[in-house]
Structure formats: C-alpha cells, structure tokens
Structure 1
C-alpha cells in the first residue's frame, strides 16, 4: 500500500469526486467511437486496438503497462519517456521541451504527434494493440489523434488521491534525478492533470469508453484489476 503523505495540493483530493457524475463500467463493451471514428477516412492504425492510459502523475501507469505487455503483448508507448529521450538526444527541440516539462505544462501537439507516429510505426505489424501512456493530456490532442492516427478503443484510467500521488513522486525524486520530480513541479503537474486531462476522461466516459481502476491499493491488487479489463 502506498504511503499516505500529508500534503495539500490544489483542487480536489481525489479524482473520483470530480468524476462522480459519470458512470464507469470496467467490463462493458465500448460503444461506437466518436464522430471522427465513424467517418470513412482510412487512418494509419485502423484495425489496431489503441488504449489511452491516463492517471495523475505517480498513479502507477507505467508499472501496470509493463504487466499488460507481459501478459497480452501490447506495445507500450510512454509519451513522457519519448519526450525525455528527445531531450537526451539533444534535438533542436530539446531546450523547449525541457523548459516546458520543468513548468509541468503541455508540450505542443505537433511535437508529441511526431514522436508518437514514429514510435507506433517502429512497433511493426504484429503487435495486437498499443498502450499510449500519459496521452492525451487534453481534448484537442484526443481529437487530433482520432482524426489523423487511429481510433481509441477505450481509456484505462487509474484513479488515485492527490496526497498519495505527491508522496510517491517525492519518494521517487530521491533517486530518479528527474527535473520534474520536485514538490513544486509535482503540484503543478497534478493541477494540470485535473484541469486539462480529466475532461478527456469525462468525454470518453460519456460513450462508455473508460475503464477505471483504483490506483490506491497494493501493486498486486491494482494489477489484478487492470488485467481483468483486458480479459
């Protein structure tokens, strides 16, 4: 069980409160995609299952994606890792990306889209589906992805209280060396998630394309609930 740190963070303490007006069913089949998915436009990744993996920073998305890959052979793409790798390579965008990430803000979609397409193309044709971890972070990203790349099958959402997220990230920051693992940036990242990314979850919940997992539990319990979604 994650350590409960006593830390105050802007906005509500638990994402569930924000989403209480929406009905989530972890086993129901997704309904038809949004209007963009119902057009006849052929997209690069039509026919592939695409799962958007969302949750506040520190909610355990990466760990659970590893478990899904191990059992179901999905291809895991962490948008955060793609951005950090782009910085490490010293690309022309590295300084811009670094400054944005330190502020806990959104990286421009044209950057994210280019990195995503490249990573998905490199995965090959044999993968049964994709786990897009930490994406989309706002509605315009979701709309552009479904318009130009592929249709989201469902959103896998890890729900976790804010104080738990802060405690986990502060502990990780002791050894990670990541520029965004400090208390000030952590709070900004959580606030950004609440403001920009929760509306994405709410949007997909309206047509039953959200599978919610309680992230405030032991890793084993979270894994069991997560894998059940893919059965």
Structure 2
C-alpha cells in the first residue's frame, strides 16, 4: 500500500506513518530524533503531536526551485519508480498544497530553519551543521520537512 501511494505521488495516511515512526523511536532508545520528510501535511503534524505529545524543537526547510529539484531527481538515477517527470510534478503540487502550510505553521512559531538547498552540497551541509551547532542546549526532538 505504501509503495503504491508513493508511486502515485500521494501521502501515506497519518496513522500508518505515525505508528511506524513511534515504533522506530521507541525501539531506538534515544531522546533525539531527526525525522526526514515528516510531517507532510497538517493532518500529519497535528496527529503526530497529539499521539506522541512531541512538538519539534525546530524544523529544517530545504528551499530549492522546482526546476532544480526536477533536474536533480531526474539525474540521480537510483532506479526509483517515482523518479519520472509526471510523478515529480505531482509531488511538487502535493508539496505546495499540503506540506507548505505545515512549514508556514512552524514558521509562525519561529521554528523553521531555512537552508538554501540550491547551493553546492558542501555549502548545504555546512549550513545544516551550523543549525545544529547553534543549539547549545539539550535538543529534545527534531523534525524535517522535505519534498
């Protein structure tokens, strides 16, 4: 079911995703987490916070133009079924409709750390390291929204 939804560029139901995340978090035994690509929509966000009683310390947002993302996804050649122009464009539209409001929600709370992802890999990595280095205090939880 998850594979078919990903192929269609759709979002996996919140309850499925949260159960998988919660299981992985509990089995890990750590109190710090970086969750890549979640929450993808407002339902994910609200359900995650209600079920887990966790609100992220901050959210990483990797900003990049649609054209650059298309170019990178089409050239990564990893053999993924969803790396085709139709699915990529569907995913971008889903992001604009569903995920961007989540970013805006966390931005209104001062929790978004924006990274210019169009820069070279080394510069992006340095920017990400700087975000984590800036957190001197104990960081409880992280969440990351990506496309």
Aligned mate of 1:189, from 77, 91, 98: 91
Structure with the greater alpha carbon radius of gyration: 1
Q: What secondary structure sits across from 1:157 in the alignment? A: strand
Let me know the Cα RMSD of the aligned residues.
1.0
The TM-score with structure 2 as length reference comes to: 0.86
Aligned residues: 132
Structure 1 regions of 5+ residues with no counterpart?
1-95
Which residue of structure 2 aligns with residue 75 of structure 1? none
Distance 1:132 1:109 in 2: 14
Q: CA deviation at 1:98?
A: 2.2
Question: CA separation in 1, counterparts of 2:60 and 2:6?
Answer: 23
Partner of 1:152: 56
1:106 maps to 2:11: yes
Structure 2 unaligned spans of 5+: 134-147
Counterpart secondary structure, 1:158? strand
Match of 2:26 in 1: 121
Report the TM-score when normalising by structure 1.
Answer: 0.55
1:163 aligns with 2:61: no
Report 1:83-102 matches (<5 A): 96-102=1-7
Q: Which structure: greater helix fraction? A: 2
SS at match of 2:33: strand
